[in-house]
Structure 1
Amino acid sequence: MSKPILATDALSKQFGALTATHDVSIDLNPGEIHAIIGPNGAGKSTLIKQICGEIHPDSGRVLLDDRDVSALPPHVRARAGLGRTFQISDLCMEDTVLENAILGCLAIEGASWRFWGAAQKSKTLRSRAEGALDRVGLANFRDTQCSSLSHGQRRQLEVAVALTLSPRAFVMDEPMAGLGAEGSRNLTALLDGLRVEAPILLVEHDMDAVFALADRISVMVYGAVIATGSADDIRQSADVREAYLGEEV
């Protein structure tokens, strides 16, 4: 059996009297989508921020390709192969679609804003950025200002930016948020195809998308994982039904 690409080992985080995460150990295997679900306040976003380096855990480790990255800042984890999309879009709205994708390339090259002019002229970076845009279906929008994109297209662009990093794993925080039915279907199809390039750790409230995509599902409640299994396992779990207090699972 292949080793996990990404894993957490007993991650815990306390904010005063609030336990945000408690001994959370999950993993992400090659070629899979592992979804994390749970009610609001379950600790999902705190977990994602610990994995990506925005919050340091009180205890536990984050492993990427069996390497302990727990002490590394977010940009270094990104260069190590952790591709991130956000619950709220984190794009440069005044820049074009292509310029946003090139910014992602700058991260993997370890360059800074001082080299932005040179980066725009770099054939290598443009080629990588254009390839990512083509992969998500935005090639024809390369010269469009980001602010002119639909909400769904901005989600696609976020995925393209992550793709420019040649990620070993994707971490996606509610990518379906704010999308209508058609947008959710389109993004679901896109993510389904991405798993062959890099596995996806997916935090999502859209249960139709979760059950359509996830190979495994972990359920968090009060900062702890109470169940992990297939979609059928989670649907049939009495513990999950009780934790959701009647919510549809």
Structure 2
Amino acid sequence: MSNPVLQIRGVSKSFGALEASKNIKLDVQTGEIHALIGPNGAGKSTLIQQIAGGLQPDRGHILFMDQDVTTLSTAARARKGMARTFQISSLAMEYTVLQNAVLGALGARGDVYRFFRPVMKDQKLLSTAQEMLALLGLGDVQNTITSELSHGQRRQLEVAVALTSSPKLFLMDEPMAGLGAEASKKLMAFLADLKKQAPILLVEHDMDAVFALADRISVLVYGEIIATGTVEEIRSNPAVRLAYLGEEAEE
């Protein structure tokens, strides 16, 4: 197996007496979707924030592309190719679809303080933004105000914005949340293909989606990884069945 794109080594984080992350060890390999699952309050969001740079771990190290990024800011990690989509949309709802995508491409340059009007005349930025919108099937709505999009289209736009930075890793926080059956099916098909461009660390509550998409799954319970393995290994793991999956594991 090749060197992991992401390596989490002994990461721990406490808030007072609460241990939100306990000696976490996890990696994401090239070309895979690695799903992170667990019940509410398991510590998934805390771990993702530490990986993305929003929180500093108390102990341990985070390696990205063989570089220790533990102390780097979110922006610095993004410039190195770590892209994140959020459970709650971070899109600028008052801007058009194209403007959001252009801002994503601009952020990848590390030059987010340019005046907006000249940015929209930058042909390289426009070309990158339009290419990613077309890839996500949003080319026909590029001039639509983002607030007018459907929920599923906004999810697609978030991925398009992330793609403008040519990421080497995606951190995806519940991309299926709020989607209908048809929109979820389309997004799942896209994610299955997207991992060829960059691996995905996927946090998701939709277990059907997890079992259909994941190459490997890590199960987080009370801040600890209790198991990592393939879909079948996780389905048949007694500790996982007891702690999280319950009767779902038998379906």
- TM-score of the superposition, structure 2-length normalised? 0.97
Cα distance 1:47–1:127, how it changes in 2: closer, same or farther (>3 A)? Answer: same
Listed one character per residue, the Cα deviations across residues 23-73 of structure 1 (whole Å, up to 9, x for unaligned) are 111111111000000100000010000000011110111111010111111
Aligned 8 A contact 2:35 2:202 in 1: yes
Structure 2 Cα separation of the partners of residues 198 and 179 of structure 1: 23
Cα distance 1:247–1:36, how it changes in 2: closer, same or farther (>3 A)? Answer: farther
Aligned 8 A contact 2:102 2:120 in 1: yes
Aligned 8 A contact 2:101 2:133 in 1: yes
**Residue type of the alignment partner of 1:93:** M
Q: Which residue of 2 aligns with 1:189?
A: 189
The reply to whether residue 33 of structure 1 matches residue 38 of structure 2 is no
The reply to whether residue 164 of structure 1 matches residue 164 of structure 2 is yes
**Residue type of the alignment partner of 2:67:** R
Q: Which residue of 1 aligns with 2:203?
A: 203
Q: Which residue of 1 aligns with 2:98?
A: 98
Q: Which residue of 2 aligns with 1:133?
A: 133
The percentage of aligned residue pairs carrying the same residue is 59
Q: Which residue of 2 aligns with 1:5?
A: 5
Structure 2 Cα separation of the partners of residues 95 and 185 of structure 1: 27
Q: Which residue of 1 aligns with 2:153?
A: 153
Deviation at 1:118, TM superposition (A): 1.9
> What does 1:41-52 align with in structure 2 at a 5 Å threshold?
41-52=41-52
SS in 1 for 2:108: helix
Structure 2 Cα separation of the partners of residues 47 and 92 of structure 1: 26
Q: Which residue of 2 aligns with 1:70?
A: 70
SS in 1 for 2:246: coil
Q: Which residue of 2 aligns with 1:79?
A: 79
With 108-117 and 227-236 compared, the bigger mean Cα shift is at: 108-117
Structure 1 Cα separation of the partners of residues 88 and 104 of structure 2: 17
Listed one character per residue, the Cα deviations across residues 164-212 of structure 1 (whole Å, up to 9, x for unaligned) are 0100000001111111111111111111110010000000000111011
Deviation at 1:247, TM superposition (A): 5.3
The reply to whether residue 174 of structure 1 matches residue 171 of structure 2 is no
Structure 1 Cα separation of the partners of residues 236 and 247 of structure 2: 13
Structure 1 Cα separation of the partners of residues 8 and 80 of structure 2: 16
Cα distance 1:31–1:245, how it changes in 2: closer, same or farther (>3 A)? Answer: closer
Structure 1 Cα separation of the partners of residues 61 and 87 of structure 2: 23
Q: Which residue of 2 aligns with 1:236?
A: 236
Deviation at 1:75, TM superposition (A): 1.0
**Residue type of the alignment partner of 1:225:** I
Structure 2 Cα separation of the partners of residues 204 and 39 of structure 1: 10
Deviation at 1:246, TM superposition (A): 2.8
- TM-score of the superposition, structure 1-length normalised? 0.98
Cα distance 1:99–1:247, how it changes in 2: closer, same or farther (>3 A)? Answer: farther
Structure 2 Cα separation of the partners of residues 191 and 246 of structure 1: 27
Structure 2 Cα separation of the partners of residues 115 and 6 of structure 1: 35
Aligned 8 A contact 2:103 2:112 in 1: no
Count of residues paired in the alignment: 249
Cα distance 1:17–1:118, how it changes in 2: closer, same or farther (>3 A)? Answer: same
Structure 1: gaps (5+ residues): none
With 153-162 and 178-187 compared, the bigger mean Cα shift is at: 178-187
Deviation at 1:6, TM superposition (A): 1.1
**Residue type of the alignment partner of 1:220:** L
